[in-house]
Amino acid sequence: VRHTVPAGMDRKESDAYLRLDPARLPQHIAIIMDGNGRWARRRHMPRVAGHRAGVAAVRSTVETAARIGIPALTLYAFSEENWKKRPKTEVDFLMRLLCRYLKAEIKTLNQNNIRLEYIGRKQELPENVQCEMNDASEATHGNTGMVLTLALNYSARSEIVDAFRSLAEAAARNGGLHHLKVDEQSISEHLYTRNLPDPDLVIRTSGEMRLSNFLLWQLAYAEIYVTQTLWPDFRGVQLLEGIEEYQRRERRYGGLGQDPGHVHEHAKVPAHAEGKH
Ligand code: IPE
Ligand code: IPE
Ligand code: MG
């Protein structure tokens, strides 16, 4: 029995959606939105034109993810390293673009029942940007559908540092360092992502095969999907293609998985080979 296509999808998206198993969708998808500069350079345009064009990709991806019922989507918008190492003109442009996006998007986010959250060292961003960020997340606070998390001024190593500091401070408040409890659960509970499940799928656009300091703890067992598509050309249909590839993967978590080839490995050893070593 074919599942029904959510309203508002075009032909290509519906076809891609019908190839998916709706019962095995990733619960959390994380995306490294890369390739804006290269997109612009190919068109002999300034890098910032690529960032501007990337907004349409964000809209389409967010809308499709929400429509098909993905519970959590996290977008790497800019890293702490981007913020520290790129020219001020580019950083300023990204800040203005972010503010404009936040203002313009509130209505659509509410229409789609999406709650907006952030990860990253927000306190280091310009105050007016922090204001816009707070306004937008407050405006979507009551929504119960997909959680959209924007990683802004984000670094996974900084996140882990902040988690350890917060663990130590919590222990100090509770009567001293002998109350410090360090295990996987307590560390996870002090990360910025404490309210999110670990991503099942991480997508990187523009062909780069690296994590660039994104969710290092949380991506431990995520499936990695790299597409050559540059971020400004990415749309909902490419998201669905990434999910299709995800559904073809076998997740083993260090175990032996489902492949009969190794489940019954022992039984395949010919009788005469037994005991000869
Ligand atoms: C990704 O595009 C957006 C940000 C990192 C802010 P890039 O700006 O990294 O584009 P490329 O990698 O130079 O093509
Ligand atoms: C990673 O892309 C950060 C974002 C996409 C926001 P970069 O373009 O900064 O990564 P590197 O420098 O190529 O590793
Ligand atoms: Mg890049």
34 is catalytic: yes
**Interval 216-247: pLDDT, tens:** 999 999 999 999 999 999 999 999 999 999 99
Q: Which residues surround the ion ligand 3 when the cut-off is CB under 5 Å?
A: 34
Six-digit token pair at 185?
Answer: 């659960």
Element (H, E) at 116: strand 115-119
Q: What are the tokens at 244? A: 């299709």
In this predicted model, what pLDDT tens digit does every residue of 138-181 receive, in sequence order? 999 999 999 999 999 999 999 999 999 999 999 999 988 888 98
**Does the annotation mark 233 as catalytic?**
no
Q: Provide the pLDDT for residue 103.
A: 97
The secondary structure of residue 197, as a DSSP letter, is P
Mutational test site, ligand 2, from 38, 55, 79, 154, max ligand atoms within 8 Å of CB: 79
Q: Which residues line ligand 2 (CB under 6 A)?
A: 32-34, 76-79, 82, 208, 210, 212
> Residue 54 Cα, ligand 1 centroid: separation in angstroms?
10
Q: Count CA atoms within 13 Å of residue 18 on its CB side.
A: 11
Which ligand is nearest to the Cα of residue 212, counting in written order? 2
Please tell me the predicted confidence (pLDDT) of residue 277.
43
Distance, in Å, from the CA atom of 218 to the CA atom of 212, rounded to the nearest integer, reads: 14
Helix, strand, coil proportions of the chain in percent (round to 5)? 50, 10, 40
User: Within 10 Å of residue 168's Cβ, how many Cβ atoms?
Assistant: 14
pLDDT averaged over consecutive 10-residue blocks of the chain (277 residues)?
83 96 98 98 98 98 97 98 96 98 97 98 97 98 98 98 96 90 96 98 98 98 98 98 97 88 56 49
Contacts of 70 by beta carbon, 8 Å cutoff, 6+ apart: 25, 26, 27, 28, 29, 146
The predicted structure's pLDDT at residue 275? 47
Check residue 175 and give left, alpha or beta (phi > 0: left; psi -120 to 50: alpha). left
99-149-215 Cα angle (round to 5): 120
Where helices occur in 33-183 by DSSP H, the ranges are 36-42, 47-67, 80-85, 88-111, 127-139, 156-173
* Among 33, 36, 205, residue to substitute to test ligand 1 (most atoms within 8 Å of Cβ): 36
Residues in the chain: 277
First to last CA, the chain: 53
Cβ neighbours of residue 166 closer than 8 Å, sequence gap 6 or more: 190
- What is the three-class DSSP state of 180? coil
- Predicted local confidence at residue 177, as pLDDT: 86
What is the CB neighbour count within 10 angstroms for residue 123?
Answer: 8
The single-letter code of the amino acid at 79 is S
Instruction: State the ligand closest to the CA atom of 155.
Output: 2
